[in-house]
Structure 1
Amino acid sequence: MGQIELTCGDILALRGDALVCPAHKHLIRGRGLSAQVYERGGAALAAACELQPECAVGEARITRAYGLPVKYILHTVTPQWSSGDQWGAQAVVQLRRCYESVLALARQKKLKKLLFPALGAGTNRFPHEIAAHQALEVLHEHSGDFDRLTVCLHTPTALSDWRRVEKRFFGD
């Protein structure tokens, strides 16, 4: 069974086969981590993204990782959290689908070491506890197909939230 690692820091400084990047449906530069990835990837990444078909919420696309310490970028369009209103359940299902799509694409490309941010919990405002539960459920289910799945959180508070969810639902 592969290892799931929760850490805190700069995801762009970590090494692996692929970095998972929250994306816009047209794979154009977004905000947050997406903006940082596009800045490092430069014109070559922008050109590669232009060749990709539109990416719906929950789907994933792959490009080379120009200028980053990984081989590939797995782009996925995350849903917007709607504060738990009547569309909240749909957003949770879509977030789960992001992880499933990324892992399916990574398996297809035989990638073994993946780096994940807290998908949906940045500019799309998912509460970390909800994002963590969905992510960890999918990652634990598929961890045997990978050597290492690293979730890199942006703050110590987020890391604490994710560790608490992992302990509560998935043990130590």
Structure 2
Amino acid sequence: MGQLQLICDEILIIGADALVCPAHKHLIRGRGLSAQIYDRAGETLVSECSQLPECAVGEARITSAPNLPVQYLLHTVTPQWSSGDQWGARGLEQLRQCYESVLELARQRGLKRLLFPALGAGTNRFPHELAAHQGLEALHRARNDFSLITVCLHSKAALADWHRVNTRFYGRSTSAEHGS
């Protein structure tokens, strides 16, 4: 059985087969974690991304991960949170599709250790509890296809939200928090 862990740490120093990168549809430097990844990876990543087709919301693309402690980047375009208005349900479906697309691409490539941020909960402003519900649903279904899936949160408050959702809907906690 594969392991799913929730941690609080600096995501760009953790080793894995692949890191999931929140992406801009044109696979250019975005904001937040995307900007940090592009800054570390440099021109090699920019050049590689320029050769790929546009990535729609919910789709995924794969590139190398220069200057990062992972082999690959799995890019996915997350939807913007619309504050729960009439388009909110569609945004939640699209967010779940981001996870499913990344997981399918990782399966196709034979990747076993995946590192996820809280997709959608950064600059796209999904509340962590909603983002956690969408992410954990997909990750729990796929966990046996991978040896380790890590969701790395940027704050203890976010980690607590993800643990709360995980315990409530999946009846169990995951590994303890790390880092700051």
Give me the TM-score of the superposition, normalised by structure 2: 0.95
The runs of at least 4 aligned residues of structure 1 exceeding 2 Å deviation read none
Distance in 2 between residues matched to 1:53 and 1:171, nearest whole Å: 40
Separation in structure 1 between the aligned mates of residue 29 and residue 50 of structure 2, nearest angstrom? 11
Query: Deviations 1:71-104 (Å, cap 9, x if unpaired)?
Result: 0000000000000000000000000000000000
Q: Which residue of 2 aligns with 1:112?
A: 112
SS class of match (1:94)? helix
Distance 2:135 2:5 in 1: 12
Residue 70 of structure 2 aligns to which amino acid in structure 1? V
* Distance in 2 of aligned mates of 1:49 and 1:144: 30
CA distance in 2, matches of 1:140, 1:171: 12
Q: CA RMSD in A?
A: 0.4
SS of the counterpart of 1:17?
strand
Q: Percent identity among equivalent residues?
A: 69
**Alignment of 1:57 onto 2:53:** no
Superposition deviation, residue 4 in structure 1: 0.4
Unpaired stretches in structure 1, ≥5 consecutive residues: none
Map of 1:170 onto structure 2: 170
Q: Distance in 1 between matches of 2:145 and 2:31?
A: 31
Indicate the residue corresponding to 1:149 in structure 2. Answer: 149
1:158 counterpart letter in structure 2: A
Q: Give the match for residue 91 of structure 1.
A: 91
What TM-score comes out, normalization by structure 1 length? 0.99
Q: Which amino acid aligns with 1:115?
A: L
- Aligned partner letter, 2:54: E
Q: Which amino acid aligns with 1:157?
A: A
Q: Equivalents in 2 of 1:162, 1:47: separation in Å?
A: 35
Query: Structure 2: where are the runs of 5+ without partners?
Result: 173-180
- Secondary structure of 1:71's counterpart equals strand
User: How many residue pairs align between the two structures?
Assistant: 172
